[in-house]
């Protein structure tokens, strides 16, 4: 009896081999998305071939798309301003926010690429198709020194950055309980967050604090915009992960998403701190001479106080669940109407991050978002201890 159970029949081996070949050729087609599974991972799939609940798949697919988007724009930041970035003046301007900025940018880029690759590989391991946005990598690159000339998913050259998270997280009010509106910390409208070309912002210029001439002010305002854009995206990421996690059914999917959420919040906290350095002394007061976007000193009148003070970077305890409970320091918002996939995707689209994408792109993203918002918890027992 024991011997029979360990001996494979030739027919079984053939079937299994064909399964592996089929899977490998399928996976080979996914290389552009950075998805690759090791033999061990493929073997693990053989052991656990239960399909996930439909809602879990929809949630992971939306988040995989969000991570692909994040990876795309972080790669652009990394090419120019990362630790091996190719634009020294941009790196210097970012270092005026924190001398470690290039390292943080490179590491954040790695993290987002790992999230996208992991979520897609996880989908494949559960028999689902991965998310592939390669057909939409058509937007132009920056012409500045350091940028690769390849098609992009995202556009960092004309951003409108919602900075209301800054005053929201300093407030005791919670948008989920009717709090707000929260004022913008900085009015960043139609502003690039990467240098556009070398004529505008020469790559070899110095970046003193405060910037001394037209081009230096322009480059500093661009770097300051990046500082706020980093935090804005991760704040929205922290909220949408928190919301979507509420509707997954698999314990393992819960573990995957909670574990990634923690890193998104970690990023948000760091970028919150760095953004504050753009609006405090000695750097505060920079105005982009081309767009007029201004980074005031938020520690001085008419700003300052609890609503604007730049070192109040940890979330203020706020109303949570009901106003009857004591205030609690939490990620917010987290309800679908304020932090769901459609709301978040719409807010990101409104930031002009996808400026130049065709209607098909927006349709595809909104379809993924609607499916994710439709997910509901259901009984599903997959003890992942």
In the complex, what is the shortest distance from the CB of residue 122 to Fe ion, in angstroms, rounded to a whole number? 14
Measured between alpha carbons, how far apart are the two ends of the chain, in Å?
Answer: 31
CB of 154 to Fe ion, least distance (A): 14
> Is the Cβ of residue 67 or residue 176 nearer to Fe ion in the bound state?
67
Nearest distance in Å: CB 28, Fe ion:
26
CB closer to Fe ion out of 42 and 269: 269
- In 272-315, DSSP assigns E strands to 286-287, 294-295
For Fe ion, the closer of residues 268 and 308 by Cβ is 268
Q: How far is CA 110 from CA 107, 113, 277, 375, in A?
A: 5, 5, 24, 29
- Tell the smallest beta-carbon distance from residue 208 to Fe ion (Å): 34
Q: Which is nearer to Fe ion, 166 or 268 (CB)?
A: 268
CB of 264 to Fe ion, least distance (A): 5
Minimum distance from residue 66 beta carbon to Fe ion (Å): 7
In contact, 27 and 37? CB cutoff 8 Å: yes
C-beta nearest to Fe ion: residue: 115
Q: How far is the CB of 11 from Fe ion (least distance, A)?
A: 44
Q: At closest approach, how far in Å is the CB of 87 from Fe ion?
A: 24
Are the beta carbons of 128 and 140 closer than 8 angstroms? no
Closest CB to Fe ion among residues 67, 128: 67
Minimum CB distance to Fe ion smaller for 67 or for 162? 67
The smaller minimum CB distance to Fe ion, of residues 69 and 144, is found at 69
Q: What is the 3-state composition of the chain as percent helix, strand, coil, each rounded to the nearest 5?
A: 50, 5, 45
Tell me how far apart the alpha carbons of residues 89 and 102 are, in angstroms, rounded to a whole number.
12
Minimum distance between the CB of residue 109 and Fe ion, rounded to whole angstroms?
A: 10
Listing DSSP states for 146-210 in one string gives T-----BS---SSEEE--HHHHHTTSS--GGGT------SS-EEEE-SS---TTTS-TT----SS
Residue-by-residue DSSP string for 54-112: HHHHHHHHHHHHHHHHHHHHHHHHHHHHSTT-S-HHHHHHHHTT-TTHHHHHHHHHHHH
- In angstroms, the CA 237 to CA 10 distance is 50
Provide the token pair at 34.
């950075």
Q: How far apart are CA 60 and CA 254, in angstroms?
A: 10
Residue 161 tokens read as: 């950055």
| Pick 71 or 225: Cβ nearer Fe ion | 71
Nearer to Fe ion, 67 or 288 (CB): 67
Query: Which residues contact Fe ion (rule: CB under 5 A)?
Result: 67, 112, 115
**DSSP 8-state secondary structure symbol assigned to residue 286:** E
């Amino acid at each position: 009896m024991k011997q029979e159970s360990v001996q494979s029949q030739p027919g079984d081996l053939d079937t299994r081999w064909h399964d592996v070949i089929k899977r490998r050729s399928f996976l080979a087609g996914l290389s552009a998305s950075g998805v690759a599974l090791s033999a061990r991972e493929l073997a693990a799939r053989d052991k656990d071939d239960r399909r996930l609940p439909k809602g879990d798949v929809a949630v992971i697919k939306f988040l995989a798309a969000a991570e692909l988007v994040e990876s795309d724009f972080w790669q652009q930041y990394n090419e120019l301003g990362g630790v091996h970035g190719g634009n020294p003046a941009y790196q210097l301007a970012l270092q005026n926010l924190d001398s470690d900025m290039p390292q943080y940018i490179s590491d954040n880029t790695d993290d987002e690429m790992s999230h996208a690759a992991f979520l897609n590989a996880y989908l494949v391991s559960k028999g689902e198709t991965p998310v592939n946005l390669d057909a939409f990598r058509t937007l132009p690159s920056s012409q500045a020194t350091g940028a690769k000339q390849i098609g992009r998913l995202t556009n960092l050259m004309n951003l409108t950055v919602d900075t209301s998270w800054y005053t929201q997280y300093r407030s005791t009010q919670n948008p989920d309980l009717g709090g707000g509106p929260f004022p913008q910390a900085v009015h960043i409208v139609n502003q690039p967050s990467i240098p556009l070309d070398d004529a505008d912002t020469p790559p070899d210029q110095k970046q003193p604090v405060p910037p001394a001439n037209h081009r230096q002010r322009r480059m500093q305002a661009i770097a300051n915009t990046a500082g706020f854009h980093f935090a804005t995206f991760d704040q929205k990421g922290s909220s949408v992960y928190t919301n979507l996690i509420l509707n997954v059914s698999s314990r393992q999917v819960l573990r995957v998403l909670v574990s990634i959420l923690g890193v998104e919040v970690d990023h948000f906290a760091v970028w919150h701190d760095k953004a504050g350095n753009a609006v405090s002394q000695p750097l505060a007061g920079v105005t982009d001479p081309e767009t007029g976007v201004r980074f005031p000193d938020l520690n001085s009148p008419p700003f300052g106080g609890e609503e604007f003070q730049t070192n109040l970077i940890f979330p203020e305890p706020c109303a949570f669940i009901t106003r009857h409970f004591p205030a609690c320091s939490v990620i917010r918002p987290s309800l679908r109407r304020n932090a769901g996939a459609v709301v978040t995707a719409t807010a990101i689209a409104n930031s002009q991050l996808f400026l130049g994408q065709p209607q098909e792109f927006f349709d595809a993203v909104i379809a993924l978002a609607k499916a994710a918002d439709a997910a509901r918890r259901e009984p599903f027992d997959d003890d992942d201890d």
